[in-house]
Amino acid sequence: MDYEFSITNYELRITNFQLRITDYGLRIFNYKMNKKQKIIPALRFSEFEEEGEWEVKELGGFLLKSPEYGINAAAVPYSENLPTYLRITDISTSGKFLTNKKVSVAKNVTEDNYLEKGDIVLARTGASVGKSYKYRDIDGKLVFAGFLIRIKPDTNKLNSELLFQFLSTEHYWKWVKFTSARSGQPGINGKEYASMPVFIPPTLKEQKKIASCLSSLDAVIESITEKLKLLKNHKKGLLQQLFPAEGETKPKVRFEEFVNDGEWGKKELGECLDYLQPTKYLVKSTDYDKTYPTPVLTAGKTFILGYTDEKEGIFDTNLPVIIFDDFTTASKFVDFPFKAKSSAMKLLLSKNETNIRFIYGVIQNIKFEVSTHKRHWISVYSKLKILVPSLKEQQKIADCLSSLDDLIEFQSEKIKSLKEHKKGLMQQLFPSTTA
């Protein structure tokens, strides 16, 4: 595990992380834009600047054989004695195999049904049409399902990783949108995939260089994503340790200075929190822009919908609040000025000298009984019984959780920035037009 946690001083550190992409020698001042030769990327490695134009050819000309459809069989519960099954739903948006919910296939399969090194599968129908996955040995032996199409690049002509990276470019997704248009469900068949135009550098050496650069960036993003996952799991476990379990009156883990403080006191949630409807803080405009200063918030996973330049009716959180949706029970801790999108959510404020960051931790531990017909903070949720320690212990727990949340947010922003960087880099490394 790459981080250390000390309960005595709530310090959380991620160590041994360094981001270096300098080995590829990619420099902005080395790029070449040539308006006459239009099939030349805006950004190019210096050693390939004189290599000439890229080619635009149909994908089928770079394959060892025609695209192949997977087997048509139902998935069964995962078993080590059966082949592991790869379906569209087992592929993440970033093209990785989702291993948390493995399934198997009971149908007799042949060796030809298994994916091999360099193979890429493409979704052929439905809302996920165009989604891609490149087989990796670390994913284990996989049999691909019928709604996937396998392509086998001829590595003497086309670098498989370069092709996989191309399958996330704007050019590719525009082609998918156009080609998959149907009167019914969207779809792309094997013949259509084979006819897809692809941008190809003139030499395998340049193909490999671009592929290595982008895959290195993917590896960094994946590494930080894994660290973020560990942090979130750590927080989940910490919440269970720092707050009393059901039926208990003291937590399992306690800061040293509070070990002998005895049981926590019982209160109703409404004794600790007041609420208000955000009516006077509602945003009027739907013109959101990242350059605007004020976040527009809503309850739920989306949280920040965008940013507004409206000056009036901003909620100034000198005293932090909890945004709470008493329909879904989704909640967020907010300590910055904002405007609200909907009056349906509640703004929960601290009262009776309660630490609101501590209470947010309490709320995260509550197993709410959600009703599709109730939106009643006062009559239902405010009556819930909770356990509360002294204000000093509340503050200590709150500071601990805040430090952890700050680190989680830092890692999340780092991932977001790297993904934006990669997106911009790909727009430069691949030609944007075939005209």
Contact 388, 354 (CB under 8 A): yes
Q: How far apart are CA 85 and CA 146, in angstroms?
A: 11
What's the CATH code, domain 55-200? 3.90.220.20
What phi, psi does 63 have (nearest 5°)? -105, 150
Chain mean position to CA 294: 24
Q: Alpha helix (H) ranges present in 77-203?
A: 160-166, 170-179, 190-194
Q: How far apart are CA 257 and CA 425, in angstroms?
A: 51
Residue 343: per-residue pLDDT: 83
The CA dihedral of 270, 271, 274, 275, to the nearest 10 degrees, is 0
> Strand 197-200 to strand 55-58: parallel, antiparallel, or no bridges (unpaired)?
antiparallel
Residue 108: per-residue pLDDT: 85
Contact 408, 231 (CB under 8 A): yes
Q: In what order do the strands lie in the sheet with 132-134?
A: 68-69, 148-151, 120-123, 132-134
Q: Which CATH architecture has domain 265-388?
A: Alpha-Beta Complex (3.90)
Which residue type, as a one-letter code, is found at position 91? I
User: Residue 227 is encoded by which pair of tokens?
Assistant: 């660290």
Residue 188: per-residue pLDDT: 95
Residue 372: per-residue pLDDT: 58
Give the angle subtended at the CA of 43 by the CAs of 37 and 49, to the nearest 5°.
Answer: 60
Reported as type and span, the H/E element at residue 419 is: helix 391-429
Size of the chain in residues: 435
User: Residue 31 is encoded by which pair of tokens?
Assistant: 């790029």
Task: Specify the residue for token string 């059901």.
Answer: 246
Domains 1-19+204-258+392-435 and 55-200 alike in fold: no
Q: What is the pTM of this model?
A: 0.80
Query: Could you tell me which of 238, 157, 298, 215 has the C-alpha nearest to residue 24?
Result: 215
Residue 100: per-residue pLDDT: 87
Contact 138, 167 (CB under 8 A): no
Q: Digits of tens for pLDDT over the chain (435 positions)?
A: 444 444 344 333 433 333 333 333 433 323 333 334 468 899 999 999 998 899 999 999 999 999 999 999 999 999 999 999 999 999 998 899 998 889 999 988 999 999 999 999 999 999 999 999 999 999 999 999 999 999 999 999 999 999 999 999 999 999 999 999 876 788 999 999 999 999 999 999 999 999 999 999 999 999 999 999 999 999 999 999 999 998 999 999 999 999 999 999 999 999 999 988 899 999 999 899 989 999 999 877 788 999 999 999 999 867 899 998 877 888 899 999 999 998 888 899 999 889 999 999 999 888 887 765 566 677 788 889 999 999 999 999 999 999 999 999 999 999 999 999 999 999 999 987 544
Give the angle subtended at the CA of 117 by the CAs of 105 and 133, to the nearest 5°.
Answer: 65
What phi, psi does 87 have (nearest 5°)? -115, 175
Contact 428, 33 (CB under 8 A): no
What phi, psi does 189 have (nearest 5°)? -90, 175
Domain spans of the chain, in order of start: 1-19+204-258+392-435, 55-200, 265-388
Residue 400: per-residue pLDDT: 95
Distance of CA 263 to CAs 245, 253, 346, 387, 414, Å?
A: 12, 13, 31, 9, 41
Residues 6+ apart with CB under 8 A from 25: 45, 46
CATH class of 1-19+204-258+392-435: mainly alpha
Which residue type, as a one-letter code, is found at position 285? S
Residue 195: per-residue pLDDT: 96
Distance of CA 290 to CAs 286, 293, 357, 416, Å?
A: 13, 8, 27, 14
Q: What 3-state DSSP class applies to 119?
A: coil
